Amino acid sequence: MRVSELFDLTGQVALITGASSGLGWRFAQVLARQGANVVLAARRTERLETLKAEIEAVGGQAHCVALDVADRDAITAAFDEAEKVFGTVTLLVNNAGMAIQKMATDMSDEEYRRLMSVNTDAVWYCSQEASKRMIAAGTPGSIINVASVLGLRVAQSLSVYAISKAAVAQMTKALAVELARYKIRVNGFAPGYIRTEINQAFLDSPASAAMIKNVPQRRFGEPSDLDGTLLLMASEKASGFMTGEIIVVDGGQSLPIV
Ligand SMILES: NC(=O)c1ccc[n+]([C@@H]2O[C@H](COP(=O)([O-])OP(=O)(O)OC[C@H]3O[C@@H](n4cnc5c(N)ncnc54)[C@H](OP(=O)(O)O)[C@@H]3O)[C@@H](O)[C@H]2O)c1
């Protein structure tokens, strides 16, 4: 098989949460370029329309859907809409996420709940929604979760974020076991620092200059640094025997003990 065929996603229907910026924006472009019909989901729909136009300008197929992943009913509605437009979603990228940087003792109940709802609960509900529909349609598929190196390690002032992403890492493995019998694979990323809006203020601050010394590659990542890993997990032909894996992409940052 030629390498180009290995990563061909023609006929796949991909739903990407949080497609309005950063990693989700890039993921949608990459999946569409490989032939998937992409459903772009987020709250900021005007941004999604811009992305849809970009994708269509180079021959791709995209549809925008307004989605606040903290709204359980809106998740069902988004999948209904995706299905009506392109058919059963066969490739789900659980990417929407947020961070709140605070010491645990300063975190309010509302902030805790909001963060867990967007970063963890939504991954559960979207995965459940996607897998039930794939099973009903009798189609194999792939679920890709965006965890974080902070789901495997911890950092000060990011405790709830780390907890929310650790749950995503465990969810990836637990669902991989249960969904394997339906030929649905579940894998995930654990990215290190990738330059996007979520960390723009930090990466532009003097504190980041100190942090970069802890990255063996001496740089932060760009969204394009995840392209190959995304396609590996997305393509049944490329990684059909791989499920329950969390792939770390962090320039080596999480390797050294000091
Ligand atoms: N960048 C990094 O260094 C890094 C490292 C590890 C993991 N991650 C993870 O990567 C994912 C993408 O983050 P990013 O770096 O691309 O940050 P970003 O540029 O801030 O993008 C976050 C995306 O999530 C969406 N989102 C947030 N809350 C939402 C909600 N309630 N409903 C629907 N969508 C929501 C946003 O869309 P709307 O605001 O339009 O809804 C936006 O598109 C997150 O899960 C993040 O935790 C990032």
Instruction: Check if the beta carbon of residue 82 is closer than 8 Å to that of residue 64.
Output: no
Atom index in ligand 1 nearest the CA of residue 17 equals 34
For residue 8 the two structure tokens come to: 């061909």
Q: Which helix (H) or strand (E) holds 123?
A: helix 122-137
Q: Which pLDDT score, from 0 to 100, does residue 4 have?
A: 84
Q: In which band, very low, low, confident or very high, does the pLDDT at 26 lie, cut at 50, 70 and 90? A: very high
| pLDDT > 90: percent of the chain | 93
Instruction: Check if the beta carbon of residue 18 is closer than 8 Å to that of residue 41.
Output: yes
**Which whole number is the average pLDDT over 230-245?**
98
**Which whole number is the average pLDDT over 225-245?**
98
Q: In which band, very low, low, confident or very high, does the pLDDT at 257 lie, cut at 50, 70 and 90? A: confident
Strand partners, 89: none
CA nearest neighbour of 95 among 202, 237, 233: 233
- Cβ burial, residue 199 (10 Å; 0-12/13-18/19+): middle
- State pLDDT tens for residues 79-109: 999 999 999 999 999 999 999 999 999 999 9
State yes or no: pLDDT of 15 exceeds 80: yes
Q: Which pLDDT score, from 0 to 100, does residue 47 have?
A: 98
Q: In which band, very low, low, confident or very high, does the pLDDT at 2 lie, cut at 50, 70 and 90? A: confident
Q: Which helix (H) or strand (E) holds 208?
A: helix 206-212
State yes or no: pLDDT of 258 exceeds 80: no
Domains of the chain: 3-249 (3.40.50.720)
Long-range contacts of 46-55 (CB under 8 A, 24+ apart): 47/20, 47/21, 48/19, 48/20, 51/19, 51/20, 51/25, 54/29, 55/28, 55/29
Instruction: Check if the beta carbon of residue 37 is closer than 8 Å to that of residue 82.
Output: no
Threshold 0.95, pTM exceeds: yes
Q: Give whole-number Cα distances, 26 to 16, 215, 237, 246, 254, in Å.
A: 10, 23, 22, 19, 24
| pLDDT > 70: percent of the chain | 100
Nearest CA to ligand 1 atom 1: 194
Atom index in ligand 1 nearest the CA of residue 24 equals 16
User: What's the chain's length in residues?
Assistant: 258
Residues 120-158 as b or e (16 or more Cβ within 10 Å = b): bbbbebbbebbbebbbeeebebbbbbbbbbbbbbeeeeb
> Rounded CA gap, 49 and 52, in Å?
5
- Cβ burial, residue 53 (10 Å; 0-12/13-18/19+): exposed
- State pLDDT tens for residues 158-169: 999 999 999 999
Q: Taking all residues of the chain, what is their mean pLDDT, rounded to a whole number?
A: 97
Candidate of 38, 98, 202, 215 to mutate for ligand 1, largest count of ligand atoms within 8 Å of Cβ = 98
CA nearest neighbour of 192 among 220, 166, 213: 220
Question: Angle, nearest 10°, between helix axes 122-137 and 72-86?
Answer: 40
Residues touching ligand 1 (Cβ under 6 Å) are: 17-18, 20-24, 42-44, 67-70, 95-98, 118, 146, 148, 191, 193-194, 196-199
161 is catalytic: yes
Q: Which pLDDT score, from 0 to 100, does residue 3 have?
A: 84
State yes or no: pLDDT of 69 exceeds 90: yes
